[in-house]
Amino acid sequence: MSVKVCMGNEAIALGALAAGVSVAAGYPGTPSTEIIETLVGIHKPGVSVQWSTNEKAALEVAAGAAYAGARSLCTMKQVGLNVASDPLMSLSYIGVKGGMVIAVADDPGPWSSQTEQDTRGFAKHANLPVFDPSSPEEAYMMVLSAYEFSEKYSLPAFLRPTTRVCHASADVDFDIDAEIKKSDGFEKRPEWCIFPALSYRRHGELEEKQGEMARDFDKMPYNRIEGRGRKGVAVSGVSYLYAKEAIAELGADVLLYKVGTPYPMPERLTKKFISSVDSVLVVEELDPVVEEQLLIEAAGRVPVLGKRSGDMPKNGEYSFEIVKKALIKYLGLPQEKEEREELPQLPVRPPVLCAGCPHRASFYAAKVATKDLKKAIYCGDIGCYTLGNAAPLNMVDTCLCMGAGITIAQGLALADAGAKCLAFIGDSTFFHTGIPGVINAVYQGTDITVIVLDNRTTAMTGQQPHPGTGKRALGDDAPALDIETILRACGVKRVSRVNPFDFESAVGAIREAVGFAGVSAVIAEAPCVAQLKKPEAICFVNDKCIKCGRCIKEIGCPAITPDEAGRAVVNAPLCTGCGLCACVCPVSAIERGERNGK
């Protein structure tokens, strides 16, 4: 055994290695990304690690490995589970042979997600067990237990860390020298093929297993009752640590029910807890999953307070302060006076595209190219380029979910005949779920323009490779799939490639694509600025500046600001010398030069 200070996501990866995992597949998404990245960094021989094209593919790869008896891991963030939900729901009926853990990181807050959805709800919907760690140490141990549980019941098991568990750090005792659990090979049998008669039988078996698992969870150390008193507090996930610390600080007599496996709830412990208290306060982030199960168990005999009663916030991430305040109210303690000095408010810093980001040039080129259209609608997607919605670009009118920009554009084109619809999509998202939308547009004969913002990486989550980069997760070479070839194979008749920093050419290419009747595409190719070394070139503002502010108002580059007199000033450490601002300046007051002097 070794001891290491590691993040929760690292602990999950180490736990999988300690359990003998041999196949791990995922799609990057905060707060889950570092699980796969840790496995890539360790690169244990015999363990296959991949960034899949999307979460559905990752889940299916992991399921296939588990069919053959291998232990597999699938990772994603909570919205990725929506993409993977189709195979998930059938997989709970088919089951697995080797242990399979589906690690889905939830994002209360949300810090970087479209939704605040709760994976525990999916677990209940799919009739699958879920482990909800309260700390990195517990996350490591729960991975080991989840594999054993998965194999015992021949079902995948969920691990559901939240942001604070994923990104908090703690000492973890780990052992990654454990032997890889070898696959004993796929055994052909009818039960691997889902048919109505099998589904009917398996549904009944699944329901029976819920009770068996609930009784099994009674024996696990992650579920326990602590303390004393007739006031009960039930907690799940990281809220356990907040509540435990607050109870200790308040010196209160409270019976604390730690629920580490919120679905199905431990059977005996839950009955014992409800029968031991006069009332219950439930503390859990996101949905009232534990609260609703306790309400059923209490059946009106004991008041169960929480989100439904308005005693806990219904949304957002919890904190020690929030939990302590709720406990003071629940326990009838006097409210504390605010003695802490108010900290000054942080300045408002709206998220913006990086200085030198090629997406800014692409958006601005599209804006110029479509300025004379009677009506243009810009459909965005999930990625760095979502930030194109901010002023002054204002080039993202819609954004729903991964890959939806192209299909949303098709719906808008059908409903608003007078509008020209443009869909922006990143290269990684194109491979994730963009391609089916292109096929549908061609098949339906819809008149839209797709602009693929190809910066050669999955930028927002940390530069992970994808099928267009020519690299796999472990850094080895792979066939680089060509986006233009795929677009043409999908039936797109007009495809052009441009460098968005070649501004006039980019404007011309987009203008021609927009004028094409039918599906057209422009691939805007330039590497993500985060992948580049500090360029030697930099932009300077010369004496010709007329203080018009156009370079600031038009493109919104964070490297350019006005000085007190209104002259444009380039912030040298931020500038990448991309030259887009020089294209905007009406009097040639911006020019490029060497970083260390003209």
551 annotated ligand binder: yes
354 annotated ligand binder: no
Question: Which residues lie closer than 8 Å to 234 by C-beta, 6 or more apart?
Answer: 257, 259, 273, 280, 281, 282, 283, 284, 290, 291, 294
CB 532 within 8 A of CB 579: no
Residue 17 burial (CB < 10 Å; 0-12/13-18/19+)?
buried
545 annotated ligand binder: yes
Residue 184 backbone class (left: φ over 0; alpha: ψ -120 to 50; beta: rest) = alpha
CB 273 within 8 A of CB 257: yes
User: Among 49, 148, 151, which residue's Cα sits nearest to residue 98?
Assistant: 151
SS3 content of the chain, % helix, strand, coil (to 5): 40, 20, 45
528 annotated ligand binder: no
Question: Which residues lie closer than 8 Å to 497 by C-beta, 6 or more apart?
Answer: 484, 522, 523, 525
Q: How far is it, in rounded angstroms, from Cα 360 to Cα 461?
A: 19
Q: Which pair of structure tokens corresponds to residue 170?
A: 């703690």
Residue 446 backbone class (left: φ over 0; alpha: ψ -120 to 50; beta: rest) = beta
548 annotated ligand binder: yes
Q: How far is CA 505 from CA 304, 366, 368, 509, 539, in A?
A: 65, 11, 12, 6, 21
557 annotated ligand binder: yes
HEC per residue, 25-66: EECCCCCCCHHHHHHHHHCCCCCEEEECCCHHHHHHHHHHHH
* Cis amide bond preceding 264, omega within 30: yes
490 annotated ligand binder: no
Handedness of CA 487, 64, 155, 181 (dihedral sign): negative
CB 449 within 8 A of CB 521: yes
Q: How far is it, in rounded angstroms, from Cα 227 to Cα 257?
A: 9
Residue 218 burial (CB < 10 Å; 0-12/13-18/19+)?
middle
- Known binding residues for [4Fe-4S] cluster: 545, 548, 551, 557, 575, 578, 581, 585
- Known binding residues: 545, 548, 551, 557, 575, 578, 581, 585
